[in-house]
Amino acid sequence: MLTANHHQVAHKAQVRDRPGLVECHIDVLLKNGSFEQFTDGNREADPENREDRMDDQSGEPLDEHTLSQQMSHLSTSRQPTISSTNVKDDIEAIPNYLSKKNKSFKDVIYRASSSSSLLKNKMKGLRRMVILMYKIMLIQIYHTLWSTYLKSGTGILKAKELPGVKVWPTEVKSLVMKQKANEDEACLACVNHYLRHLDDRMEHYRDELNRINGQLCVNTQTIETFVQQGLEARRLEMEHKVTLVHHDYNDRVLESEYLQQKPSKHQKQIARRLCQAKYKQETSKQEYNLLKTRISNYDRSKASGSHNELFDSIDDPTAREQQFYNRYRQVIQKSNDEMISLYLSSAEAQMQYYQKHFNDELKRIWEEQRTARITEKLTVAMLHLIEQRYNNISDRVKCVYDFRVHLLDLNLSI
């Protein structure tokens, strides 16, 4: 049950059906140290707020693939884009941490060399060795992802799958959407093309690396560790994408198994209602947890003595000693704390609302089942599949937010 004070209800109602809105606001607040930029206009300008609404007001049931589209939107629109969409360009590019001007890169090369003369005479070869190691590791990461795409699109992602269940990920379909050929054939050709390119590049870079290794005597373990650390965020991103592919594939398999039970129109609506309610419940819960994490990071930042850019721009040391400075800073900090508290309270109310909504849906369905005609009652198999599907939805949403929290821990921008 909701426990919000009456004077906060109106504000919480505005954000209840906008997953991500509270976190979007708090993100601006924590970055800018001020609440003055929060306006109603920002809400309408955010396409995520419109996309994530789930037709509550219309009362119309969702079509068969709407929920899957919403789940896919959650992962693609809200997760950070670390890698380039063009795999080929991404592999050819040299990251900043491997540039000639990077001090850490220079230090690694120096430590890896066995002598100062080697460092002086073979510097170019050492740099090329490190870059080749980077490219090979990156290709391995990409190969895992695109191999998963291939298995999902050809229906062999799981050991036990329904014949004919093929799910091409959104990233693949977006690459062939302008082609007039059959989508399944176009996706298959696209993925095979990328995999062949990765295999060719891998063979080429390994041959070159072997030749350089034969000419140099260096501690490759030090270099490999350095390269792996620089690829950590990329590895996490690709692993996250692979996990989402598995969740999307599972969702389609469970949907197909449910339809094989030959459910009536009403039984299909029951499944959609529960999955929709579960999606909202889990999303609001994860939004709340993410907001708490961001606030915790903000509190730690305050405790570490970080400063407001407005005040740090004041060069006159005498102005810093004036009484208005301390007073104004206290007012700003108090206002920020109050706004953070308000948005956290709103997110909690949203979470509680959707938890109650999901519980009410379960209760309503069980009451309907007790009085329903025998032909409209859900079978044991149907109930089991519905439960599996909404649990998979919950796990997928959690996966998206866990990834975002992990990136926060790595001090990456969301």
DSSP string, 85-108: S-HHHHHHS--GGGSTT-HHHHHH
pLDDT of residue 6: 40
pLDDT of 201 > 80? The answer is yes
pLDDT of 154 > 50? The answer is yes
**Do 381 and 272 fall within a single domain?**
yes
Average pLDDT, integer, range 39-45: 31
Structure tokens at 308: 């407001």
Average pLDDT, integer, range 127-153: 94
- Residue 398 falls inside a structural domain: yes
**Could you give the CA distance from residue 18 to residue 289 in angstroms, rounded to a whole number?**
16
**Do 182 and 326 fall within a single domain?**
no
Structural domains of the chain, count: 2
pLDDT of 235 > 80? The answer is yes
pLDDT of 382 > 80? The answer is yes
- Residue 5 falls inside a structural domain: yes
- Residue 58 falls inside a structural domain: yes
In the 3-class helix/strand/coil scheme, how is 151-203 assigned residue by residue?
HHHHCCCCCCCCCCCCCCCHHHHHHHCCCCCCHHHHHHHHHHHHHHHHHHHHH
Burial (Cβ within 10 Å: 0-12, 13-18, ≥19) of residue 24: buried
Which residues neighbour 79 within 8 Å (Cβ) at sequence distance 6 or greater? 237, 240, 400, 403, 404, 414
The model's pLDDT over 367-379, given as tens digits with 9 standing for 90+, comes to 988 888 888 899 9
Higher pLDDT, 35 or 348: 348
Angle ∠(164,165,166) on CA atoms, nearest 5: 100
Burial (Cβ within 10 Å: 0-12, 13-18, ≥19) of residue 406: middle
Lowest mean pLDDT among 86-95, 215-224, 357-366: 215-224
Match 């994530």 to its residue by tokens. 52
Between helix 66-78 and helix 265-303 the angle, nearest 10°, is 20
Average pLDDT, integer, range 25-36: 40
- Residue 74 falls inside a structural domain: no
pLDDT of residue 243: 96
pLDDT of residue 296: 80
- Residue 204 falls inside a structural domain: yes
Angle ∠(173,280,299) on CA atoms, nearest 5: 100
**Do 216 and 272 fall within a single domain?**
no
3-state helix, strand, coil in the chain (%, to 5): 75, 0, 25
**Do 290 and 170 fall within a single domain?**
no
pLDDT of residue 411: 63
**Do 111 and 214 fall within a single domain?**
yes
Chain centre distance of CA 338: 29
DSSP 19: T
Structure tokens at 44: 């309408």
**Do 111 and 225 fall within a single domain?**
yes
**Do 130 and 28 fall within a single domain?**
no
**Could you give the CA distance from residue 218 to residue 384 in angstroms, rounded to a whole number?**
58
Q: 254 pLDDT band (50/70/90 cuts)?
A: very high
Average pLDDT, integer, range 268-283: 94
> What share of the chain has pLDDT > 90, as a percent?
40
pTM for the whole structure: 0.72
pLDDT of residue 322: 64
> Is residue 264 left, alpha or beta, with left meaning phi > 0 and alpha meaning psi from -120 to 50?
beta
Higher pLDDT, 23 or 138: 138
**Do 230 and 273 fall within a single domain?**
no
3-state secondary structure of 113: strand
DSSP 321: T
Q: Which domain holds residue 49?
A: 1-67+265-305+317-414
127: number of Cβ within 10 Å: 17
pLDDT of 64 > 60? The answer is no
Angle ∠(75,76,78) on CA atoms, nearest 5: 70
pLDDT of residue 179: 76
Average pLDDT, integer, range 149-159: 89
The model's pLDDT over 387-405, given as tens digits with 9 standing for 90+, comes to 999 999 999 999 999 998 8
3-state secondary structure of 218: strand
pLDDT of 116 > 70? The answer is no
**Do 127 and 8 fall within a single domain?**
no
Higher pLDDT, 298 or 170: 170
**Do 166 and 183 fall within a single domain?**
yes
- Residue 325 falls inside a structural domain: yes
- Residue 387 falls inside a structural domain: yes
The model's pLDDT over 295-351, given as tens digits with 9 standing for 90+, comes to 887 665 555 545 555 455 555 555 556 667 777 777 787 887 788 888 889 999 999
**Could you give the CA distance from residue 25 to residue 36 in angstroms, rounded to a whole number?**
11
**Do 98 and 245 fall within a single domain?**
yes
Where helices occur in 180-307 by DSSP H, the ranges are: 183-215, 220-230, 232-260, 265-303
Nearest to 105 by CA among 133, 139, 78: 133
Please say whether the beta carbons of 396 and 286 come within 8 A: no
Distances (CA, A) of 147 to 153, 190, 268, 400: 10, 12, 33, 21
**Do 238 and 100 fall within a single domain?**
yes
**Could you give the CA distance from residue 358 to residue 281 in angstroms, rounded to a whole number?**
7
Angle ∠(143,149,151) on CA atoms, nearest 5: 100
pLDDT of 150 > 80? The answer is yes
- Residue 311 falls inside a structural domain: no
> Is residue 262 left, alpha or beta, with left meaning phi > 0 and alpha meaning psi from -120 to 50?
left
Distances (CA, A) of 139 to 19, 190, 230: 35, 17, 14
pLDDT of 157 > 80? The answer is yes
Round the average pLDDT of the chain to a whole number and report it: 76
Q: Which of 59-68, 215-224, 273-282, 288-297 has the highest mean pLDDT?
A: 273-282
> What share of the chain has pLDDT > 70, as a percent?
67
